[in-house]
Each structure stands twice: as C-alpha cells, then as structure tokens.
C-alpha cells in the first residue's frame, strides 16, 4: 500500500475545526510531560485537564470531549484509574487515545496496554518500536527511544489498526497514519524535536483532541501530526538548541494558519 500525502487544504480545514470546537481533553499522561502537554493543547486552542484520581478520573472522562491514556509513568494504582476512565469514556461515547510509552520490554505496561486494546481505542500513537511491540512483532525499543524506522512498522500498524479498530499513527522521520486499509503520511519536523522531553507525548494529546472533531477520523489524526510537524519545522528554523526550541515551538503552534 502506498501512503498518500495529507494536503494543505485538509490540514487547514482540520485546524479550523480544532480551534472552533476547542475540545476539552482529559490527559491521563505521565508526570514528566504534563505541563508541556497542557501548553501544547492551549497553544493550539484546545482545553487540557489532568485528572488522575481513581474516583474523579471516570467522572471527568464522561464530561470531557476526549481522553488520553499515556503509560509513561504507569503504576498499578494509576492503571486502575486509567481503566475506569476508559470504561467511563466508552459508556459516554467519548473517544480515547492510547500512547503505549516504552511498551515491549516492561511487563506491567505491556500487559496493561494489551488489555486496553479490547476496550477499543479511537487512536493509538507511538513510535515505531512501540507499535511493533504492541502488535506483538518485536520486543520494543530502548526505553522510550525507538530502535526502528517508522516505515519498518507499517505492517504492524496496519495489523494493529485492523485488530483494534483504531487509527494508528506511527511517529518518526515521516509520520504514517492508517486505519488498516488506507494510509496517509505527514512529512516535516526536525531531529531537534527529539532533544526535548514531551513532543511525542504532546502529539498524542493533540491526536486525542482530533478524535473529537467531526469528519474523517483518519484525516483528523493525520492533521494532528501535521500541526506538530509544521510547528516543529518553523521552531527549529528559529532555534539554536533545545532551550530556545520549546518557546519557539509553542509560539509556532499558536500562529499556525496565520491566526490563533
């Protein structure tokens, strides 16, 4: 299957919808990236909330427009809260997105994410090694870092999409997004984006938000990848290193489309 390149008209339309609707995103994400993730969503026009208590999380996931499950700093207690939130989101017909951080080598997160697949995520976003591991085709990468190229994970992404019913986005030098039969690709970004913490996790939050938008879910998830890639390219052109990249990246997200 040859992937199609998402065009500018599709990206612009998705961005317009994103800002008009300002989705409320319930982010059950890892402790390292909460502030950055919230700032990325705010810069794009969404509304973030980080509710992790086991009693409050399922209440809030029924209220929010979308839910993100990121297992970066997973504990058994947090896994219980996450599962309850997912079940509540499903009952309320709210989409949820899985970010299987470092799945493969570590038992707790690998078993937990495999169990969550049965609860039908709207989207799954990970790097190549994570997608390969989640699909049962490899042992995972080096911690949170991929040891595989995005293109190498395409068969796994397609199989995972067909198995789970989710849109699967593989991040890398090129982003590939598939529903198991169709495939889109997004180019752009810069290697500097891998030298600051949280760009992948924040992308998963933007993917979660995009799943709450009307229209073609595959195109909406691909557009979320394009927002981040475009902003990354713009920010890297103005940055001298990781320290100057983060504020430039947030500014670029805010300015996408010429109007925030």
* Binding-site annotation, residues: 50, 125, 171, 198
Q: How many residues does the chain have?
A: 260
| Token pair 């982010």: residue | 27
* Residue numbering of the annotated binding site for substrate: 50, 198
Q: Rounded to an integer, what distance in angstroms lies between the CA atom of residue 233 and that of residue 30?
A: 25
Annotated binding site for ATP: 125, 171
* CA-to-CA dists, residue 58 to 16, 45, 138, angstroms: 30, 24, 33
User: Which residue is listed with tokens 């593989």?
Assistant: 170
In whole angstroms, how far apart are CA 111 and each of 62, 69, 102, 161?
Answer: 25, 14, 12, 18
- Is residue 120 classed as helix, strand or coil in its secondary structure? coil
**In b/e form, how buried is each residue of 112-127, taking b as 16+ CB within 10 angstroms?**
bbeebbeeebbbbbbb
**Cα–Cα–Cα angle for 184, 127, 226, nearest 5°?**
40
Return the beta strands (E) in the chain as ranges.
4-5, 24-28, 47-49, 66-70, 96-99, 123-127, 167-171, 175-178, 183-186
Cα of 159 vs its chain's centroid, Å: 18
2: which residues sit within 8 A by CB, 6+ positions away? 183
């Amino acid at each position: 299957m040859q992937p199609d390149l998402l065009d500018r008209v599709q990206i612009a339309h998705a961005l317009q919808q994103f800002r008009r609707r300002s989705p409320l995103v319930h982010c059950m994400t890892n402790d390292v990236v909460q502030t950055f993730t919230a700032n990325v969503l705010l810069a794009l026009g969404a509304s973030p909330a980080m509710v992790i208590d086991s009693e409050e999380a399922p209440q809030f996931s029924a209220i929010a427009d979308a839910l993100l499950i990121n297992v970066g700093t997973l504990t058994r207690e947090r896994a219980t809260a996450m599962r309850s939130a997912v079940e509540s989101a499903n009952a309320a017909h709210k989409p949820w997105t899985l970010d299987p951080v470092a799945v493969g080598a570590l038992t707790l997160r690998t078993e937990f994410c495999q169990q969550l697949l049965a609860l039908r995520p709207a989207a799954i976003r990970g790097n190549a090694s994570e997608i390969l591991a989640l699909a049962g085709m490899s042992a995972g990468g080096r911690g949170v870092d991929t040891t595989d190229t995005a293109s190498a994970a395409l068969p796994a992404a397609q199989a995972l999409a067909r198995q789970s019913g989710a849109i699967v986005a593989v991040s890398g030098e090129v982003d590939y997004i598939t529903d198991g039969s169709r495939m889109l690709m997004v180019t752009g970004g810069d290697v500097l984006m891998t030298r600051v913490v949280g760009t992948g996790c924040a992308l998963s939050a933007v993917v979660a938000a995009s799943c709450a938008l009307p229209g073609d879910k595959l195109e909406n998830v691909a557009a979320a990848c394009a927002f981040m890639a475009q902003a990354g390219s713009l920010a890297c052109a103005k940055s001298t290193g990781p320290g100057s990249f983060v504020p430039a990246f947030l500014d670029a997200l805010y300015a996408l489309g010429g109007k925030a």
